[in-house]
Amino acid sequence: MPAAPLALVPLPRQVERTEGESFVLAASTAVVTGGSPAEIALGVLAAEMLTQVVGGPVGLRHEEVPGDLAGDVVLRATGGAAGQVGPDRMPQDEAYTLVADERGVLVEAAGTDGLARGLSTLQQLLVTGPGQVSVPAVRITDRPVHGWRGLSMDVARSFFSPSELRRVIELMADYKLNVLHLHLTDDQGWRIEVPSRPELTERSSQCAGDGGRGGFLTGEEYRALVDFAAARGIRVIPELDMPGHVNAAQHAVPELNVDGRPTEVYTGMEVGFSRLTADLPATEPFVRDVIGDLADLTVGEYLHIGGDEALRMAKDEYVRCVEMAARAAREQGKKVVGWQEIVAAPLEPGTVVQYWDTRQDPAPLVSAARQGVRLLMSPADRTYLDMHYYQGFPLGQDWAGLVTLRDSYDWEPTTLMAGLPPEAVIGVEAAVFTEKIHTLDQLTRMLLPRLAAVAEVAWTPVEQRDLVDFTTRLAAHGPAWTAAGHTWEPVPGVAWPAS
Ligand code: TNX
């Protein structure tokens, strides 16, 4: 009998259907991990996931060195990358192998990040049949192309709560994404508690863009979110957007304004009107305070300092502001990420520049990359998942055009710009801005299915990617999203099973 096709997204490097029989999960099946806290934490996630699918309790055991298969799901860390989380890890840190046959399932990786990726694969391999759950006999060897596979989430135009953000993190983990970039501040609201400047959230957190929700994350909520993500091999990178997109700060901190008076709350959709003023005495202390406090909250090596669309600023003042923010971040031991406009400033090698505006000539980015900055690829016409799927779509916007499933799938980050050294590409990030996306249902409807497409672009070598093959594998994910309670968009071109 021909084996049923596997619906794995992103497509692994090597998938071999082996001779053995499927593994049928039994009442005695347990998850077995090594004894470190990180391995046990991942084991708990694995056991919870399997419990859900099986509909009965799946236990958890830990052993010094998880041994041979005896009807269990074994997660074995072989050492070398334990506890490694973050975009600077190498793709081999997330490499894993997964072997399944009638004796059980063995997932092996250097550390828990790779095991987490293997666990996402295992979840997609589970076959729920009449009265039983099984895993087909396979041998999978897998690793990502890019070490940074992100989602940028705007919580400033419309706030999303910690429990909603946890749902987003779970979805990211399903598709092996590893960076959640939180756009925490903008003209419409300030969403993160800053101990040195409590007025920011006191005065500017309850407002939002039209139709959006206000709110903010306390430091404690933020740290808990970072931990929740880390347990799934996902790093949170916070963004404080400046020197443009700062109306919420100017509303809360009057000294940031030339006339010393607070600006009005802003709920519209215009961009580029607000700005810091480099020479005001309050500006540099503000920048240092907010970046210092964010650095304290940040376990990862990167801080995003924004830098986009400061449209009412002369270039030299813009450059001074970017340098001010970059210096403040570096003094806290952080590496800098910024939107593509920051290439106007002299940048340290290793700075990450996020490409987004496909309307601009990319030549300055290419020359910055030749001088040592690294590019994070978020071309709006491919990866901005707040763009409409089709004309007249009720959610999101269309300034970068329509973004169909094919658009978000059919591109290659390393050859997007002529003359770009491929090794300058640090990775790929999808983005979702929330001027016209206000609830979790609306959000997931924009993400699904396109987030899966961007995830495969970031994970799978271009030679292995094929749109028809992708849509065939993707079809089975629709019912899984429905079962998980996610709203999604049944775009044309995919044979979604009737449900
Ligand atoms: C451009 S992305 C922006 C955002 C908007 C977004 C809407 C970027 C660096 N700037 O301010 O929210 O378009 O798609």
Q: Each residue of 414-435: pLDDT tens digit? A: 999 999 999 999 999 999 999 9
Contact 235, 86 (CB under 8 A): yes
Q: What is the token pair recorded at 62?
A: 């830990």
Contact 61, 30 (CB under 8 A): yes
- 469 Cα: distance to centroid of ligand 1 (angstroms): 32
Percent of the chain residues past pLDDT 90, beyond the cut? 93
Output the residue whose Cα is nearest ligand 1's atom 7: 433
CA distance 185 to 241: 6
Residue 1 confidence (pLDDT) = 46
Mean pLDDT of 275-297: 98
Q: In what order do the strands lie in the sheet with 132-135?
A: 23-24, 132-135, 127-129
Which residues are catalytic, by number? 309
Instruction: Please give the C-alpha separations between residue 87 and each of 141, 178, 236, 368, 420, in angstroms, as whole numbers.
Output: 21, 7, 10, 20, 20
Instruction: Please give the C-alpha separations between residue 208 and each of 73, 139, 177, 303, in angstroms, as whole numbers.
Output: 46, 49, 28, 23
Instruction: Please give the C-alpha separations between residue 158 and each of 262, 299, 464, in angstroms, as whole numbers.
Output: 22, 25, 38
CA distance 222 to 171: 18
**pLDDT tens digits for range 87-142:** 666 666 899 999 999 999 999 999 999 999 999 999 999 999 888 999 999 999 99
- 50 Cα: distance to centroid of ligand 1 (angstroms): 39
Q: Please identify, by atom number, the ligand 1 atom nearest to the C-alpha of residue 341.
A: 9
- 361 Cα: distance to centroid of ligand 1 (angstroms): 17
Peptide bond between residue 130 and the one before it cis (omega within 30 degrees of 0): no
Q: Which residues pair with 108 in a beta bridge?
A: 76, 97
- Prediction pTM value: 0.97
Q: Please identify, by atom number, the ligand 1 atom nearest to the C-alpha of residue 245.
A: 11
List all residues whose CB is within 6 A of at least one atom of ligand 1.
271, 308-309, 339, 356, 384, 386, 397, 433, 435
Output the residue whose Cα is nearest ligand 1's atom 8: 308
CA distance 436 to 446: 11
Q: Please identify, by atom number, the ligand 1 atom nearest to the C-alpha of residue 306.
A: 9
| DSSP-derived 3-state class of residue 70 | coil
CA distance 216 to 219: 10
**pLDDT tens digits for range 319-341:** 999 999 999 999 999 999 999 99
380: CB partners within 8 A, 6+ apart = 356, 357, 358, 387, 399, 400, 431
- 377 Cα: distance to centroid of ligand 1 (angstroms): 14
The H-assigned helical ranges of 2-111 are 37-54
Residue 466 confidence (pLDDT) = 98
CA distance 86 to 245: 27
